[in-house]
Chains A and B, each alone.
Chain A
Amino acid sequence: MNNKTSRRRFLQLSGSVLSAASLGMWPLNLIAGNSGKPTTYRVVIVGGGFGGATCAKYIKLFDPSIDVTLVERDVRFVTCPFSNLVIGGLRDINSITHDYSVLKKKYGINVVQGDVVDIDAVKNTLLLKNGKSLPYDKAVVSPGIDFLWNSVEGYTEKDVDILPHAWKAGKQTIVLKSQIEAMPDGGVVVIVAPPNPFRCPPGPYERASLIAGYLKQYKPKSKVVILDAKQKFSKMPLFTQAWDTLYPGMIEWVAGTSGGRVTEIDVAKKTVFNELGDPIAGAVVNYIPHQAAGAIARKADLTDASGWCPVNQKTFESTKHKNIHVIGDSAVATPLPKSGYAANSEGKMCAAAIVSELNAAVMPDPSYSNTCYSLIGKNYGISVAAVYRYDGNKIIKVKGSGGISPIKADDSFRRAEALYTSSWYANITRDTFS
């Protein structure tokens, strides 16, 4: 790779504010023409979600001369963040749907709609379902999660329209919302929460809250039961306190050892069975399956026995295959959580690592952060946050930083965090998609 010309140096010479798009369109090969025939580096990114879209954008911001291709299965991206607000009737699905037009036009990213079916780590090539292949110098894989369908008996992938997971946003979000709207007053909504690790640790509990918010208003005799594989959960004291305040008696949480662990499902009867054999029936059952890295990560041999992808936590390069980087939910980036904010943060650091390497420069020390809000009611928000660094070997949380919202706080504090929740959404999606 050393014989390739770095255009980055040229860009730094020509001024601080440059239009990436105009440079991207310009015949740069001519500009850098004094060192023979330069080749443009190609970075191909799998998945246009929080990790992938952010990484594509920041590579272009760092070095517009790199040819960046973003391969995404769907034309539009519906965010999981705020999909619980759609289910609870506080938001319209269109308001959480984003497209790639700005990434294309403003940053000169090639956005390709397609399904990546395999990666050839020897030939450095990505294979698409339509038979096309895309060569790369660097590949970034950010496919999110996939489900382990066989983790309970009696339930398969075909049952998702009867017992929706809604853990990938879009059609599933609407299926779950419609079922809740159609159920009779007095019905029970059963949420089956997965074991660790899974995407968005506070997600099932935010969902329970916002469903209860809807039920309180329209079907006040109804209830939400959370059957949990775990003994505790994210922001637990804050959630339970808020449930007592806003939805007394409406949300029941069952711990793993108290009968929360679901092992079998009777799809036709919308009934789940815990490991003790007790049947729990719901008017609506939101079964959230056990999770692992996105299927393409497994296909491309980027996962280990855990089902997730081990990476160098500074560069996010796979420890299994060179020149393939894995970010977002699929990567093992603990203690960073599997969140959209963390995926965005990882996308930026991975972009810096790739651009530094392609320009034969040393990457400065990375820094990562996370901020996850959960909305419990329209005017009631809570958060968890932290700052992380790389200690030379792995990611660590900076001592003293972060934590959850204070348990002792007044209404105005919770209201302020609810306001910040919607501003958070507007800002993170802007940083990722435009």
Chain B
Amino acid sequence: MQFVKLALWRCLVVMLVGLFQSVSAETIDQRTMLSITCSGCHSDENVGAIPSIAGKPAQYIEKALIDFRDDKRSSTVMGRHAKGYSDAEIKLIAEYFSAK
């Protein structure tokens, strides 16, 4: 009984969600911890000269970060940032933003 009640409430809530402005929830994991400090500059929409990277293919973001880090791609500030992350961390960041 409790379970049915819970399931019903859950359906109702999910239905109601569509009626309100949607906010994407964030999960607390390593991916998020590494990536949300980037969101200060890279938001979910293009705002001025700094591009949004939300929804870009993970491989594209990963390659860009590795190239910035290894000075294979020129940048103003991204090289200085990318040097702060390992290959594995860059992969996580790429996954996070591509899933946005």
**Residues of A in contact with B (beta carbons under 8 Å apart):** 10-23, 26, 30-31, 33-34, 58, 60-62, 64, 105-107, 341, 344-345, 348-349, 352, 355-356, 361, 363-369, 371, 383, 385-388, 398, 400-403, 405, 413, 416-417, 419-420, 422-424, 426-428, 430-431
Contacts and interface: CB of A to CB of B under 8 A. Distances in A.
A148 B77 CA distance: 35
B88 interface: no
Contact of A420 (B38, B76, B80): B76
**Residue among B6, B21, B36, B50 with max Cβ neighbours from chain A (10 Å):** B36
A54 to B, nearest CB: 9
B81 A12 contact: no
Please classify the interface of chain B as helix (H, G, I), strand (E, B), loop, or mixed, using the class held by over half of its residues.
Answer: loop
B87 to A, nearest CB: 14
Interface residues of B, number: 43
Contacts of A363: 28
Contacts of A385: 77, 80-81
Given A106-B21, A419-B49, A12 B37 contact: no
Contacts of B24: 16-17, 61
Contacts of A17: 17, 22, 24-25
18 contacts: A17-B24, A18-B17, A18-B25, A19-B21, A22-B17, A62-B25, A352-B33, A366-B33, A383-B77, A385-B81, A387-B84, A387-B85, A400-B84, A401-B84, A402-B84, A405-B76, A416-B76, A431-B39
A140 to B, nearest CB: 16
Given A386-B80, A387-B81, A398-B83, 10 more contacts: A17-B25, A20-B23, A62-B26, A352-B32, A368-B37, A400-B83, A419-B49, A423-B47, A427-B43, A428-B41
Given A18-B23, A364-B28, A424-B41, A33 B16 contact: no
Nearest to B52: A427
Contacts, number: 166
Interface of B: 2, 5-6, 9-10, 13-14, 16-17, 19-30, 32-34, 36-43, 47-50, 76-77, 80-81, 83-85
Nearest to A403: B80
B23 A423 contact: no
Contacts of B2: 33-34
Contacts of B33: 349, 352, 364-367
A427 B26 CA distance: 18
A387 B41 CA distance: 14
Given A345-B40, A367-B34, A422 B83 contact: no
Contacts of A33: 2, 5-6
Given A14-B10, A58-B36, A363-B28, A430 B48 contact: no
A402 B83 contact: yes
Nearest to B21: A106
A426 B48 contact: yes
A308 to B, nearest CB: 22
Contacts of B25: 11, 16-18, 20, 61-62, 64
Contacts of A431: 39-40, 43
Contacts of B30: 364-365
B82 to A, nearest CB: 8
A277 B42 CA distance: 50
Contacts of B34: 367
Q: What 10 A-B pairs come out closest when comparing CB atoms?
A: A387-B84, A423-B48, A401-B84, A22-B20, A423-B50, A398-B84, A419-B49, A369-B37, A19-B20, A426-B47
